[in-house]
């Protein structure tokens, strides 16, 4: 069985939005008990992250990504190359196992969507639940 749904989010530039509750709701709606859930952020400057949604940790992540792919550096690509690089490093999708109708996540793991672009954006996240 396959169930799919799209979430639309408004995300500020360089921000993260916790979507764990939305994903859990979609998994429940799917009625799939055992399988996988894939979360895919549509867009070349967005990403899906599974980690703790704690403000200081998220700031550390922003600071680390700035060191790796600085907004100040001059790139061959247009003015937002750093956003594309950050998205590539983190990745546009994640897959989570489903067991007994629930996502298999650790105590502190939350699902977030990141917008690495220089502007606030409306993002689409495609959630696909596959299983039985």
N-term to C-term CA, the chain: 6
Half-sphere exposure of 55 (CA within 13 A, CB side): 0
107 DSSP assignment: T
* pLDDT per residue as tens digits for the range 17-53: 999 999 999 999 999 999 999 999 999 999 999 999 9
* pLDDT per residue as tens digits for the range 44-55: 999 999 999 999
Is 98 in contact with 33 (CB distance < 8 Å)?
yes
- CB-count burial class (<10 Å; 0-12, 13-18, 19+) for 68: exposed
Mean pLDDT of 4-16: 96
Class in CATH terms, 2-131 = mainly beta
Sketch the domain layout of the chain as residue ranges.
Answer: 2-131
């Amino acid at each position: 069985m396959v169930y799919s749904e799209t979430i639309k989010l408004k995300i500020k530039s360089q921000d993260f939005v916790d979507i764990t509750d939305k994903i859990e709701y979609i998994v429940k709606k799917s009625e799939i008990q055992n399988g996988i859930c894939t979360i895919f952020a549509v867009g070349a400057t967005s990403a899906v992250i599974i980690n703790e949604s704690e403000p200081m940790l998220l700031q550390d992540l922003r600071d680390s990504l700035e060191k790796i792919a600085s907004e100040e550096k001059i790139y061959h690509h247009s003015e937002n190359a750093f956003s594309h690089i950050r998205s590539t490093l983190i990745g546009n999708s994640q897959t989570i196992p489903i067991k007994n109708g629930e996502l298999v996540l650790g105590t502190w793991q939350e699902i977030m969507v990141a917008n690495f672009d220089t502007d606030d954006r409306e993002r689409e996240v495609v959630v696909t639940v596959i299983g039985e």
